[in-house]
Structure 1
Amino acid sequence: MTVARKNENLYQEMENLLKHGVIGFYNCVEIIELFMIKEGHVFNVFTILVACKRKVIPNKSEFLTNELIKLKGRREKFGVIVTYKSISECKEIFRKLLDEKTWIISDAENLKVSNELECDGKYFAPVDSSDIVPINQILKNNFFNGSYIFEVADKNKSHLKFFYEEKSLIQELTIALKKYLPISLASVSDKLGNYVFQFPVEILSYQLSYNENENLICEIAWHDDAEKRDLIVTARGVEKDNVLEDFSVAKINSGSNICELNFKVDKPFLLYIIDIETSVIYAAVRESMFMMAKFLKVEVKVIDENDCIERDFKIENEDFKVFVKDNKNQVKVMNWIDRRIYTNDIEVAKNKKYFVQYYNDDKKLSEDLHREALKDIHWLLDQYGQEEVWLWDPYLKYNDIAETLFFNRYSNSVMKAITGDKNIPEKKLCDVCKLKLCASCTGTSGIIDNSIDEKNQGFNFLSVDFKGKINLEFRTTKGTPANAFHDRFIIFPKTYEGAMAWSLGISINQYGKTHHILQKVTDAQMTADAFQTFWNQIQGDNQLIWKSKND
């Protein structure tokens, strides 16, 4: 299908949805623009157009930001402006964006509109339930029935590239915007540069309940001005183990407002209310369930101390007592399906290094265990180290860098490493006997403070050829407010999946030698932001240990 034909279909779909009484009774759209001023030009950061009904439609734009927003270390300025246009003008705005790549709301000569705008088609955004719908973070009041969305996406986003290079900036902008807009752009950063047309479904409201047979009941109430029509209501169980446990369909005739589905509500379900004639979705519940009285009993119970075990202990000479309930008779019911899925996933997690546990093994030399465990780090470097790699460990020195980052196969990868310049425990000596600490010696412990050069003299022996094939910067927090830290992470801030990070569980110098866990971090971007904050604090000459010439 050609682009022109595809766009014509989109225009017709929007035309059909916005007909009076199909999903609502709108007379205008509220247009909220988040814009950026950069080098004398104005760019779109994010724009949302929300269909609504107002008695009086304002004919002037209003700036919500009395003062433009500035981000630390950046010259760009950001602002928010609100405008109202008619429904017919909304359709024209949509057409002009796709056909001509123009923003007809403004005739400013310094306005820059991307020439790579596309709309892949409309979609329905349900309300949040037990599952969070990500786009609801930026939609307006999408907590009734749901909304139809036409999203015009900027496929280039070149003017916003700095947000993806320094991701903490979008967090900073999101926080600053909270004063004016209840949206969270940081949660859906892929929407930057886009134009979102939101059409809330307001033609009816609904209520879900259940009867004495525990069957699902759906009751609707039409808008006062709505023409009643036939509806179908579908409910199905949430898929588990790729099987469909239950499914039911019921009809609500135009002369009725209620239906019963042959569907038990004691488990999570998905529900849709659909117009039979037009297939328009009027409501969607992604995942919900009822906590029924027979399954949920709430009571306040006073623990009988005679039926408990006392647990006595001290904290800094203060006595504590806890009465511990004996639960030997409380038998939990095992969900065997969930257990099997978990068992299968643990193998996947191990293969993808999402979760790897290293054990003590008296039959192997510690150095052999060390080298074997480091292969997992090398695997991560091969998989995700194409763009950047950051290593964060308070005990890092030359050997640790050599055993890890030197194995990155990508010569142009930007690598950064932070050490706390801590002294390794094995370096502790006794002030009296000058030997490693032992039980028979009463001397006080001392620590040899090896200099940076002594710990990392291996860098001095690297060839010029080697330095030309690596892009590495190694810094210490010594002498800065960031000196004391215990974090141990390997971070890949730029991958095809976004930022990724792993908790090492132990320092590289002890990797694999004793029990620890390598585990993927859930929100890697926050870890990357924390590393970047440390990195920015250690930019003095005294903190530089070594830097390659390949800048």
Structure 2
Amino acid sequence: MEGLIKRFRRFAMSGEVGLYNSCSITSVVLTSRKDTLHRNIFTIAVFEELPFRNYRLRYHTERPVRISKDLSLGVVSQRITVDDAVILYEGVARNGKWQQPCCPELHVAKLTPLEPVFVPCTSGVPIHNVLKNSHRYASYLFEFFSEQKELYQQLNPNYLRGDVTPLLREVNSAVHSVIPIDLEFIEDRWENVIFQFPVNLLKVDVWGDKDGKHIWVATRWHPELKRSRQEVRIEGWVTFDETILGRTAVTTDEPLTRLHVGSTAGKITVRISTKSGEMTLYEKSLHLVNRVAISMRLAHPEKITINVPSYGKRRPGFSYIVQSVSGDVVEAGAFSDWRTWVRNRVNLVSKRTLERNLEFVQYGVGGKNEWAKALSDLRQLITLHGQNGVYLWDPYATANDILATLFACEFSGVPLRVITSYNKQVKGLVTDGVKISSYQDWVAHLKGELVEALKQRKVNLEVRCQHGQYGWKFHDRFLLFPGREPKVWSLGCSVNALGFSHSILMKVAHPWPVLQAFENLWEALAQCVVWP
């Protein structure tokens, strides 16, 4: 513990990685009306060059956001001195207490201090979602980690199943609407405290040489440093298709360095560290622009009006205007032949992988009947992803469709939910000698078939049916897997027709909106329960 505190002081005071004059603290706070405690949801303290002026609090919300009868949410910032920040770190490390100047005590969870870590400024690093100016500077983090996360579990009790409660979503949404911190994406940081030290001692620029074999690295040291030139170790390497095309390292104090990396047509990584290599000051991965595609289009002067006649009672006629264009795409700086072959292979493997993972599958190509294969693929998806439940959203879903798909879920007790509908295609249908002439007939028919299906296997099945003014009509068909990281597949057509003609099973890139739309309609159909 004392060793960590000593290192923290050195980072804050000595200019080891940056020069700082103050520390900006932002806290997401949950306040209870019952016990009046202010509980920490997340706190980040960022060391900055800006001077300290006063302890004034800045509230990011006009008033506390009420998220329940008892709980309200606030987001507040305060600038403190560097000495204050050191005292705060020591207080949490030694006593588990957080007391900012001129503020009530912030109730923090039981926290475990972690060893400092270096975070590069390369895009795509998950922790960037809660850091400040992560695209401008690399940073060192001293983090206190809540390993129990009692508050998080209280707000989201079924987190192990991957569930996300509406209360938790409201908290995440309220935070993200006022500050650029995405707790929904990186929920493991709930109740944590992070001290961020941006590495502002030097600025770095990297660009490629026109020969395609070298890169240039320019370093500019902080103007307040006594020595404007310091010796550092610069490493550079280039990877392509998971292989290393070239690598080099030099020790220099020159402000401009030319490095031979073999080729710049790949992912370039540059790392700068102290001469001894003990302290990393900069690291970033990037791609250079080696190929440019320019689209040149020429608009024809003549505009064409397209008239669409009416079609039935629901679709009135209308017109719209089109101005046609012609043009070509000109590409410059194309890759050499071997890289073109590699990229073609990568694209082909990507397509095959999507098909293998059932993320994009076509059925019925060339008129083939692939209904059995399509149902088998749906059952495979349910087996792979159904640990938190399976939802089927299909306006023509029948008991037979449910039996052929959802009953394949191997996870006992998980919710199996179905939204179907009663529509004019169903009305007038004759099945098992019984004519469906009303919604009540349809429900009775479904229940009868489900009773027989459930004799084969007991499952946690719920079915609701949209009809008339209840809920709203829908057309698209989806297979949904709820959880912390939900997955959704678009079916292209109803289960009872999938594979008979050309249809596409495709994974949805943004599943959350689809899952939320399903849940909204599910709630709206609370009076339309078919089963149980």
* TM band (smaller chain): 0.7 to 0.9
Deviates more, 1:177-186 or 1:243-252: 177-186
CA distance in 1, matches of 2:62, 2:299: 58
| Residues 208 and 371 of structure 1, relative CA distance in 2, 3 Å threshold | closer
Q: Does residue 147 in structure 1 map to residue 139 in structure 2?
A: yes
CA distance in 1, matches of 2:469, 2:70: 28
Residues 415 and 472 of structure 1 are in contact (CA less than 8 Å); yes or no, is this contact kept in structure 2?
yes
Q: Does residue 45 in structure 1 map to residue 32 in structure 2?
A: no
The structural deviation recorded for 1:519 is: 2.2
Give the alignment of 1:133-532 within 5 angstroms.
Answer: 133-161=125-153, 162=155, 165-166=163-164, 169=167, 172-177=170-175, 180-210=178-208, 213=211, 215-226=214-225, 227=227, 228-237=229-238, 239-253=239-253, 256-263=254-261, 264-265=263-264, 267-277=266-276, 279-290=278-289, 296=292, 302=298, 314-316=306-308, 320=322, 322-325=324-327, 335-359=340-364, 369-424=370-425, 451-459=441-449, 461-462=451-452, 469-480=458-469, 482-494=471-483, 498-532=485-519
Residues 480 and 538 of structure 1 are in contact (CA less than 8 Å); yes or no, is this contact kept in structure 2?
no
CA distance in 1, matches of 2:413, 2:496: 26
- What amino acid maps onto 1:478 in structure 2? H
SS in 1 for 2:522: helix
CA distance in 1, matches of 2:92, 2:172: 26
| Residues 274 and 425 of structure 1, relative CA distance in 2, 3 Å threshold | farther
Q: Deviations over 1:369-399 (max 9, x none)?
A: 4344222222222222222222211212222
Q: Deviations over 1:224-263 (max 9, x none)?
A: 22244211222222x332211122323331xx32211124
- What amino acid maps onto 1:148 in structure 2? Y
SS in 2 for 1:221: strand
Residues 99 and 106 of structure 2 are in contact (CA less than 8 Å); yes or no, is this contact kept in structure 1?
no
Q: Deviations over 1:132-170 (max 9, x none)?
A: 333333222233232112232222323223355335655
CA distance in 2, matches of 1:140, 1:448: 63
C-alpha RMSD over aligned residues: 3.9
Residues 127 and 285 of structure 1 are in contact (CA less than 8 Å); yes or no, is this contact kept in structure 2?
yes
Aligned position for 2:26: 32
| Residues 8 and 356 of structure 1, relative CA distance in 2, 3 Å threshold | farther
Residues 250 and 260 of structure 1 are in contact (CA less than 8 Å); yes or no, is this contact kept in structure 2?
no
Residues 415 and 473 of structure 1 are in contact (CA less than 8 Å); yes or no, is this contact kept in structure 2?
yes
Deviates more, 1:16-25 or 1:29-38: 16-25
SS in 2 for 1:384: helix
TM-score normalised over the length of structure 1:
0.78
CA distance in 2, matches of 1:216, 1:353: 41
Residues 299 and 324 of structure 2 are in contact (CA less than 8 Å); yes or no, is this contact kept in structure 1?
no
| Residues 387 and 204 of structure 1, relative CA distance in 2, 3 Å threshold | same
The structural deviation recorded for 1:34 is: 0.4
Q: Does residue 113 in structure 1 map to residue 115 in structure 2?
A: no
| Residues 315 and 499 of structure 1, relative CA distance in 2, 3 Å threshold | same
| Residues 412 and 419 of structure 1, relative CA distance in 2, 3 Å threshold | same
- What amino acid maps onto 2:465 in structure 1? T
CA distance in 2, matches of 1:464, 1:405: 12
| Residues 119 and 170 of structure 1, relative CA distance in 2, 3 Å threshold | same
SS in 2 for 1:386: helix
Aligned position for 1:3: none
Q: Percent identity?
A: 23
The structural deviation recorded for 1:415 is: 2.0
- What amino acid maps onto 2:268 in structure 1? F
Residues 311 and 323 of structure 1 are in contact (CA less than 8 Å); yes or no, is this contact kept in structure 2?
no
